[in-house]
Amino acid sequence: MSTAELIRLYLDEQRAVLAGFPVATLDAAADLLFRTYDAGGTVFGMANGGNAGTVDHFLCDFRHHPFVTEDKAKPLPADVPRLRFVNLCGSASELTGLANDLGPDEVFAAALAPFVRPGDLVLAFSGSGNSRNVVRALQVARDAGARSFAMTKGDGGRCRELADLCLVVPGTSAFPGQTGGNDNNFHFEDMVLSVNHILVGLLKQRVAARAPAAPAGSAR
């Protein structure tokens, strides 16, 4: 196939993923997020590899984007509750320290266990659904009485069994780099970022509908 044909293949596959996307599951995930925010709970996020970088994107967006006005010139009033978001894969020091002391399978579980509480929400992203460090942390979340949302592909793996809600990205791929054991992985990672943006936008709408207008003269 030519380069142009491969580009078209990728985009055609992506359209097929979008056409089959489980909207009802994401709708339910939004409800979990709203309930966590309304109750003053904390959202914890975790993933491996490139998706760990996307969880950092989640942190930036979830902490800040819903809490500015539409023109971004003014923050919402300080008494509008902010969402607490913790990136469990955000500290290289913590991750390497826990991996050295407890082993790589325990890095997220050990970082989560001292802090997670009932009413919190744990977000887990694993293409296979079987990443051992993610699976262990989902068990910790369940034992603590926290809610959990997992996003996977394929058959969902162990994450599908452990999470309260599991979104399985549909599809398969013939595009170079996401075949075989990595089947559909690029499209999965694309959808992780899309889920971030969808949830952040929905939360922004909910916050804006409930928040008073920002006072005059409060521009940053």
- Using the 8-state DSSP alphabet, how is residue 157 labeled? H
Question: What's the count of helices (H) and strands (E) in the chain, helices before strands?
Answer: 8, 5
Residue 3 lies in a domain: no
CATH code assigned at 190: 3.40.50.10490
> pLDDT digit string (tens) for 59-112?
999 999 999 988 888 889 999 999 999 999 999 999 999 999 999 999 999 999
Sign of CA dihedral 201, 50, 191, 143: negative
Give the global pTM: 0.93
β-bridge mates for residue 84, sequence order: 42
Mean pLDDT of 126-150: 98
CA atoms within 13 A on the CB side of 139: 12
Residue 212 confidence class, pLDDT cut points 50, 70, 90:
low
Closest by CA position to 200, among listed 54, 100, 97: 54
* Residue-level pLDDT at 220: 35
Residue 213 lies in a domain: no
**Type of residue at 203:** L
> pLDDT digit string (tens) for 6-48?
999 999 999 999 999 999 999 999 999 999 999 999 999 999 9
Q: Is 9 helix (H, G, I), strand (E, B) or coil?
A: helix
Tally Cβ neighbours within 10 Å of residue 62.
Answer: 25
Residue given tokens 């985009």 in the structure block: 11
- Total number of domains constituting the chain: 1
Residue 185 lies in a domain: yes
Range of the domain at 63: 26-118+125-206
Residue 95 lies in a domain: yes
